[in-house]
Amino acid sequence: VHEFDQQARISRARARRTFVGQRLDAARTDLRRAEATSRQFYDRNREWEASPQLVFEESLLSRNGNTAAALFLVLQRQYEALRIDEANDAPAITVVDSAVPPRQADWPRYWMLLANALAVGLILALVAAGGAAFAAGRRRNADGATDDLEHAVVPTSAGRVTFPLFAWGLAFHSLIITVLFGWFGLPEGTVRTIAAWKEAGLAILLLLVIVRAASGRGSRSTIAWTDLWIGGLMTTAVLFLLVENVWLRFDLPPGAEFLGLRDAVFFMLAYFIGRGMPGLASGDGAMRSLFLLIVLTCGIGILERIVVTPEMLVGLGVASYFQNFLGVSAFTVGNDYGLPLNYWTMIGGSLFRRAGSVYLSGQGFAVPFILFFPMATAWVFLRENRSRALIAAYAVVCTGLVLTLTRMTILVALIQLVLFVSLIRRPEWAVAGVAIATVVFAAAFVSIPGFPTFVWHTLSWQEGSSISHVNDWTQGLAILAENPWGSGLGTADQTAVRAGLRHLTGDNLYLKYGVEMGVLGLTLLILSLVSIAGSAMRLFRDGVTESQQRMGVALWLAVVGISINGVTAVVFNSITLGWLFFWLAGAGVTVAQRLPKPKHLSVNQQRRRETDVRSYRSIGSQVRG
């Protein structure tokens, strides 16, 4: 190293000395020429002080001579310094200790590469086996009829117990963790262990479903297209986790990788649990439990907006929960309380506080409505008789939705309501709904100061949130175009913020998956949503019972809401929405898969199906009576 450094320094000094020497020779020539010109002038003009013209000429000659002399002196000093550098052979590196070769090379680690390659090969083999099983199942069921209606509508005891527990636990998760960490002051490690109940519970349930399926006691179903798309997306994420640092050399911290895996695909395991619990989409238990949960959380949100102050939220520990436990203090900048900034929204130059309910943030309360609002709508209106209590409860749900003051979610809810009315073919309801919405909008337009300006800024994309959306989209599209194969797990949206990384994009569901897992991940996400929507629509149109039809239309409208709201938010950051949606989607796909296709039924099968439909609906009406 010393010899190389010495040769490099001498070579650079020699090259510079040669160049400066050439310039020095040219400057010496110019200086001599200027001196000769001045000498000739003084020889010819002895009395030059008496002539103004000669005085001016003498000043020009003097200035040129001074410039040439100054340039010559500068180059002379540089030339001498470079001659010294060229001859300088003093060592620039001091050897403190002799180099010792490492006992183990940092890279390549062949055992790690071998284990990684074996894991990747095993995953790809499982994918190939799943594809082969799917193709075989399609060939066996080419007639499209499974003739398994009774099995499809029998709810399992596991689904009746575990799903409501998970639903209520997910909804109250943030509140419970906040109380434990912020109010009671339990150690962070203890609270994080408690907070992992949902991941541990999901893993245990998945293991039970796999064991039941392997033993032949579980729900009988074949592989569906949705299984392939969701399984492919999860496989892509696992492959990224295995190879992005070892093979692709992204050099991401392990914490960011595992956090990215959890936020991107782990909750989708609930889909496969739902596949083993078709009773969730066939009976009323799941939707009834969700409706009670929706009404309760909306009631809490209304009371919170009236009674609870920001100081009370700080005392409860909400600020500490977001800043110290979640590590997203960047989301709490801009207010004096340290609360999430989305607790407030600007309307006409004035701050209006949103309701956060048990989710402890305005956005966290609003996003689950993408699933909850169509669930509540289907539960209340997709039935023959509607009591006043149901209508009052639905009014509470609508009030809670409005108090979120989240423009995109409220717009999505209106679109879902219009589509629901169109699907059940009740145009008079659409007219009434439009009239009520118009009256409410007109009242807000007149009574709320600055509301017209707020509407105009929203429509013209002049709001601060609109500008931030555009900036994140532009950056995300540029990153996706630059790295179409993906930039690694945990590099987008709030996952990167929590991991201490610079987020590459945000505020867009599609760009999150595209940036993290490339075009392949984005494509699989879209195919998963489209496939779930297809199964949900089939469940609604061909469902045997009202329960199946309600679940089908609710899931289909939820997919529409996710697709629209996903343009401006990573909606699966809401654990309540992501986990419950995929859980119910799995159950809906199983039931829809077992429904016979009318065009493939024989005459006897059609008569049997009509008889089953009449009997199920008769039993349902008797139960309601």
User: What residues are paired with 344 via a beta bridge?
Assistant: 353
193 within some domain:
yes
Residue 364 and residue 234 share a domain: no
Peptide bond between residue 108 and the one before it cis (omega within 30 degrees of 0): yes
157 within some domain:
yes
Residue 62 and residue 39 share a domain: yes
Residue 357 and residue 268 share a domain: no
Are 613 and 548 a contacting pair, CB within 8 Å? no
Residue 494 and residue 571 share a domain: yes
pLDDT for the residue 456: 67
Residue 74 and residue 128 share a domain: no
Residue 452 and residue 304 share a domain: yes
Are 538 and 510 a contacting pair, CB within 8 Å? no
Residue 257 and residue 189 share a domain: yes
Residue with tokens 């070892």: 246
Going 388 to 393 to 394 to 399, the CA torsion angle's sign is positive
Residue 273 and residue 158 share a domain: yes
Mean pLDDT per block of 10 residues along the chain (625 residues) reads 73 86 90 88 82 84 88 90 80 69 63 66 66 60 45 51 93 95 92 94 88 68 86 91 79 90 94 90 92 97 93 92 86 83 78 90 94 96 88 94 91 92 77 70 70 68 71 89 91 88 89 93 95 95 91 97 94 95 95 74 51 48 41
Helix/strand/coil for 351 = strand
Dihedral angle over CA of 479, 482, 488, 492, nearest 10: 0
102 within some domain:
no
pTM value > 0.85: no
* Residue 488, number of CB atoms within 10 A of its CB: 25
Q: Which among 25, 53, 87 is the end of a domain?
A: 87
Residue in 270, 565, 517, 263 with CA at minimum distance from that of residue 414: 565
- Name residues whose C-beta falls within 8 Å of residue 620's C-beta, 6 or more positions apart in sequence: 545, 546, 547
Residue in 180, 446, 221 with CA at minimum distance from that of residue 316: 180
Residue in 432, 407, 405 with CA at minimum distance from that of residue 418: 432
432 within some domain:
yes
Residue with tokens 């039993």: 619
Residue 334 and residue 241 share a domain: no
Residue 259 and residue 136 share a domain: yes
Residue 46 and residue 69 share a domain: yes
603 within some domain:
yes
Number of domains in the chain: 3
Q: What is the DSSP secondary-structure string of 549-594?
A: HHHHHHHHHHHHHHHHHTTTS-GGGSHHHHHHHHHHHHHHHHHHHH
513 within some domain:
yes
93 within some domain:
no
465 within some domain:
no
* Residue 177, number of CB atoms within 10 A of its CB: 20
Are 332 and 339 a contacting pair, CB within 8 Å? yes
pLDDT for the residue 154: 37
Domain that holds residue 443: 290-310+321-457
Residue 132 and residue 71 share a domain: no
Q: Which among 48, 72, 87 is the end of a domain?
A: 87
